[in-house]
């Protein structure tokens, strides 16, 4: 059992491993080749009772925190990064709903999530603000017990497949809006006015259905607002950022760990006909492989430390949480790139497993908060300057 895992987390982790081996891994190549949204993975995780990882125990969920999210996404990503991203964003959406859930939020969303009957996801990004996800231009207007929502979102993981979308909207008029000035609403998938943009076909993460959606005069019940006006910066830094960063750190760590494993297998099994020598017998490759392993283990240490600090409410959790996604992104890109060299022509084949890992890993630097932005925020946090 991992040093940091509670007995409950250890048994959830074992269960997740079984699901990954039996249902997720066998379809991974097809997910990538066909840009297939991994319905089979989500169904298997639901049947195992894992979709309620972040839902509170009061509605039948597991009530787990950041450590569980990082550990599960790592495990799933080792086999199928797109499945990890889809599961991870569902968990982040769940955590955002759970943070200040009303009775309505609990019964309408969290209980079905815990029962594996409802998939949610996070819809923050917009073309207009790009990586600056905390500056939405999507607006809401109040109309009695309803909000009328208008705007456009991009890159919605699980887009068009989820049952609900945790969507950010600006709370004030455009000229008044400042950093982090937004509200979060839960928007049901069947809300009239949601127009999905073309299907996703990315360079990597090809199964995550990262689609855009136009929101045109969508009527959302007022009771679907999460928290109170004014708590929104609290949401950004206490819930959205930690859970999102941890889901991403786990996913990219998983890709890096899988690349080390696949490279080790190749180095041990590839032998030259003329000498009988395996690649694993060559000094230079031994040292380069060691460096890959060190990179992954250092990253895992940082991710675990960040998660444990976050779950424990440690006063200095934030720098670790900011650092761990940036570091996992660097590690994933570096290690998969190195795997491509060490595994030679076998890896360079079209759609080899290593080439898929390299493509999937590249999403890490693009997904907000991007690596550059995270390092900027980390520097500010360490120097005592305001983040935004």
What DSSP assignment string belongs to 84-99?
Answer: HHHHHHHHHHHHHHHH
Distance of CA 9 to the CA centre of its chain: 19
What DSSP assignment string belongs to 287-352?
Answer: HHHHHHHHHHHHHHHHHHHHHHHHHTT-TTHHHHHHHHHHHHHHHHHHHHHHHHHHTHHHHHSTT-
Nearer to ligand FAD, 36 or 368 (CB): 368
Q: Is 122 within 8 Å of 89 (Cβ atoms)?
A: yes
Nearer to ligand FAD, 157 or 356 (CB): 157
CB nearest ligand FAD: which residue? 130
Please state the closest distance from residue 92 (CB atom) to ligand FAD, in A.
8
d(CA 134, CA 26): 37
Q: Is 380 within 8 Å of 388 (Cβ atoms)?
A: no
Please state the closest distance from residue 244 (CB atom) to ligand FAD, in A.
8
98, burial (CB in 10 Å: exposed 0-12, middle 13-18, buried 19+): buried
Q: Is 248 within 8 Å of 364 (Cβ atoms)?
A: yes
Nearer to ligand FAD, 86 or 302 (CB): 86
Binding site for ligand FAD (CB under 6 A): 89, 121-125, 130-131, 133, 155-157, 202, 205, 208, 210, 363, 366-368, 370, 372-373, 376
Nearer to ligand FAD, 202 or 250 (CB): 202
Please state the closest distance from residue 212 (CB atom) to ligand FAD, in A.
10
Please state the closest distance from residue 172 (CB atom) to ligand FAD, in A.
20
Please state the closest distance from residue 77 (CB atom) to ligand FAD, in A.
13
Per this entry, what is the length of the chain? Answer: 388
Nearer to ligand FAD, 9 or 89 (CB): 89
Nearer to ligand FAD, 125 or 263 (CB): 125
Please state the closest distance from residue 80 (CB atom) to ligand FAD, in A.
14
Crossing angle between the packed helical segments 39-47 and 7-19, to the nearest 10 degrees? 140
Please state the closest distance from residue 329 (CB atom) to ligand FAD, in A.
11
Nearer to ligand FAD, 207 or 263 (CB): 207
First-to-last C-alpha distance (Å) of the chain = 39
Query: Nearest to residue 218, comparing CAs of 123, 269, 146, 137?
Result: 146
Please state the closest distance from residue 319 (CB atom) to ligand FAD, in A.
18
Nearer to ligand FAD, 138 or 210 (CB): 210
d(CA 279, CA 298): 25
Q: What are phi and psi of 147, to 5 degrees?
A: -115, 140
């Amino acid at each position: 059992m991992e040093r940091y895992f509670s007995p409950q987390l250890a048994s959830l982790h074992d269960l997740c491993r079984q699901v990954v081996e039996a249902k997720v891994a066998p379809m991974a190549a097809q997910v990538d080749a066909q840009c297939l949204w991994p319905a089979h993975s989500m169904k298997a995780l639901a049947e195992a009772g894992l979709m309620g990882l972040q839902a509170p125990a009061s509605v039948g969920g597991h009530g787990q925190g950041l450590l569980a999210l990082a550990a599960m996404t790592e495990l799933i990503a080792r086999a199928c990064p797109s499945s990890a991203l889809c599961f991870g964003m569902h968990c982040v959406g769940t955590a955002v709903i759970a943070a200040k859930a009303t009775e309505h939020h609990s019964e309408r969303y969290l209980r079905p999530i815990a029962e594996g009957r409802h998939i949610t996801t996070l819809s923050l990004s917009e073309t207009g603000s790009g990586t600056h996800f905390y500056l939405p231009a999507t607006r809401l207007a109040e109309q009695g017990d309803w909000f009328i929502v208008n705007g456009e979102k991009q890159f919605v993981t699980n887009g068009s497949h989820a049952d609900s979308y945790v969507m950010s909207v600006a709370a004030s008029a455009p000229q008044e809006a400042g950093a982090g000035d937004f509200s979060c609403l839960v928007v049901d998938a069947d809300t009239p006015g949601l127009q999905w943009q073309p299907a996703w076909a990315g360079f990597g993460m090809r199964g995550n259905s990262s689609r855009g959606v136009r929101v045109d005069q969508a009527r959302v019940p007022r009771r679907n607002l999460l928290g109170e006006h004014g708590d929104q910066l609290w949401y950004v830094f206490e819930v959205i950022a930690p859970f999102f960063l941890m889901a991403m750190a786990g996913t990219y760590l998983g890709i890096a760990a899988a690349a080390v494993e696949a490279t080790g297998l190749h180095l041990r099994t590839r032998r030259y006909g003329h000498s009988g020598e395996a690649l694993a017998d060559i000094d230079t490759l031994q040292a380069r492989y060691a460096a890959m392993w060190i990179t992954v283990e250092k990253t895992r240490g940082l991710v675990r430390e960040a998660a444990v600090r976050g779950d424990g409410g440690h006063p200095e959790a934030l720098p670790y949480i900011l650092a761990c996604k940036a570091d996992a992104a660097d590690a994933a890109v570096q290690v998969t790139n190195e795997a491509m060299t060490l595994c030679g022509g076998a890896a360079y084949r079209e759609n080899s497993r290593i080439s898929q890992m390299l493509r999937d890993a590249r999403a890490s630097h693009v997904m907000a908060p991007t690596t550059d932005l995270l390092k900027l925020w980390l520097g500010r946090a360490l120097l005592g300057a305001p983040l935004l």
